[in-house]
Every structure is written in structure tokens, then in C-alpha cells.
Amino acid sequence: MGATILFLTVVFGVSMVYSYSSAPSMHVDIMLSGLNRYSEHYPVPRLPYKYDDFEPYFDAKTMEAHHKQVAEQRASQLNRVLKEWRASGENATLAKLPLFGMIQNINKVPAKWREDLRNSIGGYLNHIFFFATLSPNPKGEERNVSDVMKSLFMRSFVNQTNFEKMFNKTSLELFSNGYVWLVRVPKKRYLTVYTSHTEINPVSAGMQPILGIDLWEHSYWTKYGNNREEYIRSWWKLVDYDKVEKVLNWWWSFDPYDPKHHEWHYDDDL
Ligand SMILES: [Fe+2]
């Protein structure tokens, strides 16, 4: 698992050596640990930073409420629904899959728990991915963007600037609550921008989120009111592309479209 894997691709006439390690950084690992496995109980991960570390862009009060109340509520709902469903014994094979397996097969979840589960799995995962790719940046310095990420932006959006413009436009246009994501499209092996409404997670549509902005008002109302544009500008100051790349590597390390991870797939027997 510790081996470095080289992936060679040619797009737009440019050769790119894609390199990744299966050992993500500790911070990303803390946030994503266990998500790919079955669990009796899914906890809200401890944040690898303090609530006031994101000042002056995110205020400590909002961060604390977002983590301790909103994310916790989603996790509590998830664990409650899973417990009830599993105790029922209905569709027990599906009930034993990891969360990613369940949401990709949500229409086979018994109707009694389906909508609660769709929302709570999404809400749980969405907040983890949202928090995983941010890091403190009190002086608002430019963040490092690796050659790998630059190549992926070129491959997928022509360049990073185009990607960020598209992301901003999509974020401003999203009506009401939801998220905008940078996702990996597994079978196509490129990145794209994806919108999810309410608490739907991109994995439901077979996408793998590697960066996402939470556009629910609980993310920004206290500091920015209805000025979503200012909130988006501030969020960019906290986006840590090194972490984004590590999340990308994390997905690579157990790609559900790799046949050896077939347990994430559903077949008609479920
Ligand atoms: Fe949120």
C-alpha cells in the first residue's frame, strides 16, 4: 500500500506523470478515516484546527456551531437511522455496506428509512469533506498548487483560473441550500464542477468529491449575512490545495471503480 504508483496519461497533447502515495497526510487522514468501511457508529471527526484558527475569514462562533451542532446533528441522525434499519433486518446485505455503497444504492434502502438516510449520509459526508480541505491562513497568503493539480486543472478546465471562475459562478447561482464541488469523475479520469442540492452528496451520482463549499446559510450568515459572494471569496483564502490533492489520492487508494473494490458496487442481488 505504501508504494508510489505512477499513472501516465496524455491529454491535450501533454504527457503527465500522475504520482500518488497511499499514505495521506495526517490531517486529511483524521478527517476521512474509516469512511470507506462499515461501522456501527459514525462519529463527527475532531477538527485538526481550533475554531478560531480560520479568522479573519470564518468566525469562531460560526465554526463551532457548524462543527458541534450542524455536523453533529447530521451524524446523530445518520446513526439513529442506521440503527433502526439494521435492527429491522430488512435488506441486511445493503445495511452492511460502507456509507458510499449505501448512497450509491439508495433506491434499494427500505422506503421507511430511505429519505432520512439519503439526507443524513449526505449531510455527514458533506461536512467531513468541507472541513477536510481547509487550513488556517491568517495572512491570506497565496496557497501552493502542485504540478499535479495544475495538470489536472489544465486537463479538465484549460487552467486553474477557468476552474475557479466556473466554481464561483456555479456557487453564486445555486439557489437556496446546497454545495458546489470539485469532483473526480472516476471512469473519465478528469475533474469537473458539480452542484448538489440540500444534503445530497456527489457520491450518489458516482462522483468523488475532492473540494467543496458549503452554501447553507449556517456556514456564513453570522458574519456575512446574505453576502454569499464575500463568503465565497473568504472561503478561497482557506482552501488548501495540498489537502485537496491528498483527498484525491485518498480516493485513488480505493477507487470503487477498480474491480478489486467491487464490494462498493451493487448488483441486482442486493
Ligand atoms: Fe453545513
Q: What is the pLDDT of residues 186-209, one digit of tens each?
A: 877 789 999 999 999 999 888 999
Ligand 1 centroid to residue 108 C-alpha, Å: 27
Q: Give the Å distance between the CA of 17 and the centre of ligand 1.
A: 36
- Domain formed by 5-24+137-259, architecture: 3-Layer(bab) Sandwich (3.55)
Beta-strand ranges (E) seen in 108-262 are 178-185, 190-197, 208-214
CA of 52 relative to ligand 1 center, distance in Å: 17
CA of 133 to the centre of ligand 1 (A): 14
pLDDT tens for each residue of 195-244:
999 999 999 888 999 999 999 999 999 999 999 999 999 999 999 999 99
Which residue ranges make up each domain of the chain?
A: 5-24+137-259, 28-133
Please check the confidence at residue 256 and state whether its pLDDT lies above 70.
no
Interval 13-56: pLDDT, tens: 223 333 333 333 567 877 888 888 899 999 998 898 999 999 99
Give the residue with greater pLDDT, 268 vs 84: 84
> Domain 28-133 adopts which CATH fold?
Helix Hairpins (1.10.287)
Q: What pLDDT score was predicted for residue 17?
A: 31
Sort residue 89 into left (φ over 0), alpha (ψ -120 to 50) or beta: left
Q: What mean pLDDT value characterizes the chain?
A: 85
Grid cell at residue 204:
450518489
Q: Is residue 268 scored above 80 in pLDDT?
A: no
Residue 33 in grid coordinates = 478515516
CA of 260 to the centre of ligand 1 (A): 33
CA 166 centroid distance within chain: 18
